[in-house]
Amino acid sequence: MRKKIALVTAAGLLASVVALSGCGGGSNSSGGTSSAQGAAGGAGAGESKAEGGDAAGSGEALHLTFYYPVNVGGSAAQLIEGLCSDFNAENPDIVVEPVYTGNYDDTVTKLQTAVQGGTPPEVFVSLATQRFTMASTGMAMPLDDLIAADPDGQEYIDDFLPGFMEDSYVDGQIYSIPFQRSTMVMFYNKEAFKEVGLDPEKPPTTWDELVEYGQKLTNENRYGVGLALNSGSAQWAFTGFCLQNSENGENLMAEDGKAVMFDTPGNIEALQFWLDLQNKYEIMAPGIVQWTDLPTQFLAGEVAMIYHTTGNMANISQNAEFDFGTCFLPAGKRQGAPTGGGNFYISNGLSEDRIQAAWKFIRFMTEPERAAQWALDTGYVATRQSCFDTDLIKNYYEELPQAKVAFEQIDVAKPELTTYNAAEIWRILNDNIQSAVVGDATPEEALKAAQEQATEVLAEYQ
Amino acid sequence: MKKKKAIGTMITIFAVLLGLLWLIPLVWLIGTAFSVPSFHMTLFPTTAFTLDNIKYVWNAVPFGTYYINTLILVVCTFVVQFVTSTMAAYALGVLDFKGSALVFAVIFMQIIIPNDVLITPNFMTLSELKMVNTKIGMMLPFYGSALAIFLLRQHFKSIPRALADAARIDGATTWQTIWRVYMPCAKPAYLSFAVISVSYHWNNYLWPLIVTNSPANRTLTVGLAIFAKSKEANMQWANVCAAAFIIIIPLLLAFFVAQKQFMSSFVSAGIKE
């Protein structure tokens, strides 16, 4: 991770030197003409004709390039291509070419390169936490004017779940629209609950209960509690625990993204609680468990309660050989959970007709029915209030009531950690949390160090 | 004598153990790729044999196109490198001209610069040449190879002048001298560079991802990434292994067939990567 950041930075530095030779930021003409057909997701659907003159054969059609990362497996790429060809069929004057861009990190790298090469995509999906970077580097544009000009623009924005919409703002302006969003919930093994005499319909609701249940559930073959503490995941779970332990729901960072509050007494307690789960109560595996291994351990019955993303619902419901339940994350002083995932952005510096076309595309992709279907197909949480009035979601919840918890929990959920230079701040927090987990520092020392390093990094944005 | 024999046996046992250790990932990969997905991680598959994983990933991503693209990329790049590097190495290693040391130093310095750092400048150049999202654009930055020039130059230098002189006396032209004397003598160097070049371009991911947009121009590694990098929820190991299997099989077969040549070329060239 660190190496990657260093590389990207180095690439950026080098580029800025070379950039002196100037590269006219002309509009994008390199996009191949995608003719992806068949929403059914036919295999080679993405056959694209090689580029040629702009709009050679298709009249005056406007070509938009759309970068998207895939984080939930192969079929998501086909779904996106299907959605884009639906859009193209409905809007003959616009051709959206979907371009798969790896994971979130690769997408940012490709985006930066394309911007410097003068061929940015018109629309892209990137982490919601990237918004400060997108705004400060001028890669994305504020969307407020588009919303104001749209007849039902304000209504549209108000329809998004506030917990998701909250991390679209930079300095009071909206920079992104929620798309593939998730939150953290607790999955628990009902059969293990029964086995140790706990009521399977009463999952833990507080930290004290978590410890109490965890102690009952732990035996030589099984841990009571599971948390992924690897770099890149620890900060997500930590946001949740800090929210739960805060007096009034204070998050880890200031809303303007220019300050972090890592070393508050509440947060130190939260980190101490993690260590206690491992060392004092011995109900959680010591050391660092990987994010991608945790669901596997849960399914194998090696952990009874895990903190994981709702995105795992399909995997767990298909593979669990036991009855499982989901619940809100247990509360400390209050309830709380982190949100995460990717949003739509529009590139900066586009011509007016391209901006309008891009906006149209975003509106299309986030229509309630479509957003609902996307949620069902991928495991993300539907982003709009009106999605939950659709039969799609209603039937889904009837079939799989465990999925509903995520939606209900959004009310108490807050954005995960993000600031300017978010990647660096994430690294700082993750590194220091890990040093506490492996015993190199006390929680207080670790968070004080994290606070100090992060403040230094953020100094240039004050 | 006895002692020597004992040591020999021990070394053999150790080598076999090491070999088995290296085999573990491959065994696991193939086992997982060809068995019904399971959430239990075991070295040997515990579930039934199936081709569904392979079928699923093959259909989820246009691997056929990706195969052809990767082959074009790997073959064309190597052929051009072969020609350019031979000529450059001959000039630098055999011909005496003013400033050859400086030219060599400049070329040599390129070995130090990691390719990833050059992604942005290369992309900008290609963008101005309107070559983004083309196969030629994907290959162009690799048409000259500092490593190949260095390798070949060192080899050419070690070939006795007398051989070339003899050829000349027999009436060989410069081309014929290169073709008949230098190239056959430097075969190990060519072979080891071929291995490096082919495996590098076969496995390269970030550059093809960045410089191409349409599936028509993309390579196998981009197809693999759709599965291997999708880890927001959990790793779908069966799919990852199936995709990885599809990608590694040609190189794997090539290795089994041409194992001896690979080994000897590496030993004689004295480099690993």
Domain boundaries, chain B: 1-50, 62-269
Cβ of B225 and A15 within 8 Å? no
Using a CB-CB distance cutoff of 8 angstroms, which residues of chain B are in contact with residue A187? none
DSSP H or E run through A82: helix A74-90
pLDDT digits (tens, 9 = 90+) for A107-140: 999 999 999 888 899 999 999 999 999 999 999 9
In this structure, of A162-171, B147-156, B171-180, B224-233, the range with the lowest mean pLDDT score is B224-233
- pLDDT bucket at A347, cuts 50 / 70 / 90: very high
Burial per residue of B168-185, b for 16 or more beta-carbon CB atoms within 10 angstroms, e otherwise: eeeebeeeebbeebbbeb
Q: Name which of A335, A401, A365 is nearest A184 in CA terms.
A: A335
Q: Does A52 touch chain B (CB under 8 A)?
A: no
Contact between A283 and A330 (Cβ < 8 Å) = no
**Other residues' Cβ atoms within 10 Å of the Cβ of residue B273:** 9
Give A266-270's long-range contacts (Cβ < 8 A, gap of 24+).
A266/A242, A266/A333, A267/A242, A267/A447, A268/A443, A268/A444, A268/A447, A269/A245, A269/A443, A270/A238, A270/A241, A270/A242, A270/A244, A270/A245, A270/A332
* Inter-CA distances, A29 with A54, A65, A357, A426, B127, Å: 6, 10, 16, 36, 10
| Contact indicator for B223, B61 with CB cutoff of 8 Å | yes
User: Could you tell me how many CB contacts below 8 A there are between chain A and chain B?
Assistant: 167
pLDDT (0 to 100) of residue B47 = 85
Res. A146: pLDDT tops 80:
yes
Residue of B nearest to A30 (CA): B132
The shortest CB-CB distance from B209 to any of A78, A101, A118 is to A101
d(CA A375, CA A383): 8
Can you give the pTM of this predicted structure? 0.81
Alpha carbon distance A104, A341 (integer Å)? 10
Neighbours of B66 (CB within 10 A): 23
Q: Model confidence at B269, in pLDDT bands (50, 70, 90)?
A: low
Residue A369 has pLDDT above 60, yes or no: yes
3-state secondary structure B58-99: HHHCCHHHHHHHHHHHHHHHHHHHHHHHHHHHHHHHCCCCCC
- Tokens describing residue A324: 């499982």
Taking a C-beta distance cutoff of 8 angstroms, is the pair B227, B234 a contact? no
Of A255, A90, A248, A91, the C-alpha closest to A170 is: A255
Residue B59: list chain A partners with CB under 8 A: 43
DSSP state, residue A124: E
Q: What is the C-alpha to C-alpha distance for residues B90 and A187, in angstroms, rounded to an integer?
A: 66
**Which residues in chain A are closer than 8 Å to B133, comparing Cβ atoms?**
30-32, 51
Angstrom distances, CA of residue B87 to CA of A281, B149, B177: 70, 9, 12
Helix (H, G, I), strand (E, B) or coil at A270: helix
From chain A, pick out residues whose CB is under 8 angstroms from the CB of B61: 43, 74, 77
The C-alpha atoms of residue B137 and residue A408 are separated, in whole angstroms, by 50
At residue A287, does pLDDT exceed 50? yes
pLDDT at residue number B227: 82
Interface test mutation site (partner A, options B41, B52, B120, max chain A beta carbons within 10 A): B120
- Fold that domain B62-269 belongs to in CATH: MetI-like fold (1.10.3720)
Q: What is the pLDDT of residue A371?
A: 94
Residue A34 has a pLDDT of 36
Amino acid at A283: I
Are the beta carbons of A454 and A262 closer than 8 angstroms?
yes
Q: Which of the 8 DSSP states describes residue B246?
A: H
Q: Which helix (H) or strand (E) holds A147?
A: helix A144-149
Contacts of residue A202, defined as CB under 8 A and 6 or more positions apart, other chains included, come to none
Contact at 8 Å (CB) between A335 and A412? yes
Given CB atoms, is A37 within the 8 Å cutoff of chain B?
no
Q: Which of A189-203, A386-400, B187-201 has the lowest mean pLDDT?
A: B187-201
Q: Which of residues 104-123 of A touch B (CB under 8 A)?
A: 106, 109-110, 112-114, 116-119
Q: Does pLDDT of A23 surpass 90?
A: no
- Considering only the beta carbons, identify the residue of B40, B117, B132 that sits closest to A300: B40
> What's the topology of domain A183-339+419-461?
D-Maltodextrin-Binding Protein; domain 2 (3.40.190)
Neighbours of A435 (CB within 10 A): 16
CB atoms within 10 A of CB A180: 29
Q: How is residue B201 written in tokens?
A: 């371009």
Mean pLDDT of chain A: 86
DSSP state at residue A28: P
Of all residues in chain B, the one with the smallest CA distance to A105 is B229
Q: Residues near A21 by Cβ (< 8 Å), separated by ≥ 6?
A: none
Among chain A residues, CA nearest to B236:
A73
Give residue-wise pLDDT tens across range A48-86: 333 333 444 445 789 999 999 988 765 788 889 999 999
Q: Under CATH, what is the fold of the domain A29-46+57-181+340-414?
A: D-Maltodextrin-Binding Protein; domain 2 (3.40.190)
Question: Closest to A312 (Cβ–Cβ): which among B132, B215, B234?
Answer: B234
Instruction: Give the nearest chain A residue to B210 (CA atoms).
Output: A110
| String of DSSP letters for A346-380 | EBSS--HHHHHHHHHHHHHHT-HHHHHHHHHHH-P
CA–CA dist A382, A408 (Å, integer): 11
Q: B78-133 pLDDT, tens per residue?
A: 999 999 999 999 999 988 889 999 999 999 898 888 888 889 999 999 999 999 99
Distance from CA of B133 to the nearest CA of A (A): 7
Q: Please name the residue that has the structure tokens 């060989």.
A: B172
Contact A315, B231 (CB under 8 A): no
Report the C-alpha gap between A350 and A26 in whole angstroms.
Answer: 9
Orientation of helix A2-18 relative to helix B119-128, angle to 10°: 40
Res. A184 pLDDT band, cuts 50 70 90: very high
- The confidence score (pLDDT) of residue B239 equals 86
Residue B227 CB partners (closer than 8 Å, separation 6+) = A73, A74, B57, B60, B236, B239, B240, B242, B243
Query: How many H helices and E strands in chain B?
Result: 15, 0
> Who among B65, B118, B127 is closest to A118 (CB)?
B127
Q: What is the DSSP letter of A390?
A: S
| Per-residue pLDDT band at B248 (split at 50, 70, 90) | very high
pLDDT score recorded for residue A21: 35
pLDDT digits (tens, 9 = 90+) for A34-45: 333 333 333 333
Whether B265 shows a pLDDT value over 70: the answer reads no
CA distance B124 to B112: 21
Nearest CA in chain A to B124: A117
Whole-angstrom Cα distance, residue A82 to residue A45?
A: 9
Over residues A87-109, the mean pLDDT reads: 92
pLDDT of residue B237: 82
Q: Is A96 helix (H, G, I), strand (E, B) or coil?
A: strand
- The alpha-carbon radius of gyration of chain B (Å, integer) is 23
Which of A54-68, A346-360, A367-381, B173-187 bottoms out in mean pLDDT, i.e. has the lowest? A54-68
Q: Rounded distance, CA A317 to CA A322, Å?
A: 9
Nearest-by-CA chain B residue for A309:
B233
Residue A160 backbone zone (phi > 0: left; psi -120 to 50: alpha; other: beta) = beta
